[in-house]
Structure 1
Amino acid sequence: QTSSDDDPPSQFVPYSAYKDLYDRVAALTSLVNQLRGAIIDSGQNKLAAAVAESCEHLPDLPKIADPLLQDPFGAADSSVPMDTSSQIPQVVPPPITPINTLDIAREAAKLLDKATRVVIERMPDDRDNNAQDERDLEFFQKLASSHHLPAPKKAHRHQCSSKFRPLKLQFDSSLDRDIFLHGFHRIRSSEKSLMDIASKPRARRDLTQPELETLRASRKYVYEQNKIAKESKFIMSDITYKLNSKPRPFV
């Protein structure tokens, strides 16, 4: 269909379509404000402070104006009402699915905790020792102190059926966690207290379930490819892998 001089400019839309958009934006504004309030009220101090500082409360939208009943393209004194309907089929917006803002706040708090945790794998574990967490914390606090690294504040074992339950170390901030992780990888092949452990502990950040699945797949691929190449052709990099610029014999 071609346009004619009698057609209104394309930047104008039917009032009903504009009102649908207005109602949708108003609903989304309300949801954002509810989510912000739920996070701030959730009791997670760090998360609440971060959200309160970075996400301002959105003001309510001004009341929608009434539609123009006079044709803006006709004469100024024209009294012919403007048809606010349109020949274009009306698109009915899908209903907004209700969300549980408290659940979202809880999930956000979990992610914030993960961002400040290190997971130590293959660390010797005595399930019958009620003081295992205290021993682990003391070991890594001493390790951190001797290498001028941020020290963990808490330690606990993740309950599972693995021979060595994953050890989770909690830090004050994600920066402290990152510095500790970098330092651990730097000293793991030279620090005697780590080298003396037969199971060869390794460290990583605390991962979400999708990230953990990616990590497992990457480790499997690296192992299989290195075994075929008989050298450390690939090495792990966080949860993925990369080519090793200095491969060594792979046994």
Structure 2
Amino acid sequence: MNNHTFEAVECIYENNLSTVEHINDWKLEGQARMTVDDKRLVLESELDPAIHGDDSHWVLWCPIDFPDRIMIEWDFYPIEEPGLCMIFFAAQGKGGQDLFDSSLPKRTGRYPQYHSGAINALHLSYFRHKHAEERAFRTCNLRKSYGFHLVSHGADPLPPVSDAMPPYSMKVVKYDKIVQLSINDLPVLEWEDDGESYGPVFEGGKIGFRQMSPMKAAYANLRILRVKKIK
């Protein structure tokens, strides 16, 4: 599936996420409970979606601005579903502002604030088990926003929690116009942005994790690496 091959040349950020203190400087939007189990960061909403609806979802941002031409790696452990897990990357204000610039409206975890609000981002949902139709035909979806544009999707190899054998090794490459996702080294999708259909190609920016309640999942061994294209 992947037409291009990349090679890591330098690790520019590493966080094994083995203690809550490891994310002390991260930025939470919404309300999430953060605990550690077996040296893995466990994340879940503090709010009941039956009561709070879309206000029960959240986003957790790494505070660092990363350049383009990177590979994002982490280990993923689904624990309880239903729910949805997503990664944001190349995120910044629509005018090029820092994602946390005080001129931008406050974000609280409600999804429209991220796809049709004041920011640009690529966002990739890789565990879509929230609604019945998502569980019946599972895909990983890549969107480009502002605008909520579905630009690519691929078959999701991740099973229901009851059948899961984690950790799952997640890998996202963002290299100029190219985005790739692989899980356990299985290519899931690749997309090339033409820079016209949905606006200019995004470059650097911030990375964040999102969950839709009541999903509970664990994360470990986050690494951001510079890459070079070898094919």
Same fold (TM over 0.5): no
TM-score (norm: length of structure 2): 0.24
TM-score, length basis structure 1: 0.23
Larger C-alpha radius of gyration, 1 or 2? Answer: 1
Where relative contact order (Cα < 8 A, 6+ residues apart) is larger, the structure is 2
